[in-house]
Amino acid sequence: MADECIFCKIIRGDFNTEFVYETENTVVFNDINPKAPIHMLVCPKVHVESLNELEDKNLMAELIQTVKDVTQKIGLKSYKTLINTGKEAGQEVFHLHIHILGNK
Ligand code: AMP
């Protein structure tokens, strides 16, 4: 956990953010500024700055499995995923997250 990381704060419950889905090592919550009718973020519970710093292969697999499970849970069959890695690529929050974007 990083003290000043907004997503770490969300994950530890500081803002009472509702989790759409949760596994042992991941959480999913809605994006505060949605760019699609459905816009969720899948995050590891541990603080990993970006995809470049992700080394745990089990966690990689769990993150992708979480994408599959949460979309199945809400009945979303067609969706886009996006990972911004690095400031120049548009990463604004430096806690790894996978965007899931879909229509209702
Ligand atoms: P990125 O540009 O890939 O780092 O995406 C960061 C995303 O986090 C943006 O889509 C923001 O709207 C979203 N975001 C920032 N703060 C919050 C928050 N407190 N709760 C939910 N989503 C957030």
What are the domain boundaries of the chain?
A: 6-102
Q: 29: number of CA atoms within 13 Å, CB side?
A: 20
6-102 under CATH 1.10.3720.10, yes or no: no
Q: Give the active site residue among 39, 47, 95, 97.
A: 97
User: Which amino acid is it at 97?
Assistant: H
27-53 pLDDT per residue, tens: 999 999 999 999 999 999 999 999 999
pLDDT for 1 equals 63
What's the mean per-residue pLDDT of the chain? 97
User: Is 97 a catalytic site residue?
Assistant: yes
pLDDT for 3 equals 78
pLDDT for 2 equals 73
Q: Which atom of ligand 1 is nearest to the CA of 82?
A: 3
In degrees, rounded to 5, the angle at the alpha carbon of residue 69 between the alpha carbons of residues 71 and 86 is 75
C-alpha of residue 27 to centroid of ligand 1, in Å: 14
* Residue 6 pLDDT level (bands cut at 50, 70, 90): very high
Could you tell me which residues come within 8 angstroms of residue 79 by beta carbon, excluding any fewer than 6 positions away? 38, 71, 100, 101, 102
The Cα 68–Cα 53 span in angstroms is 23
Q: Which atom of ligand 1 is nearest to the CA of 83?
A: 3
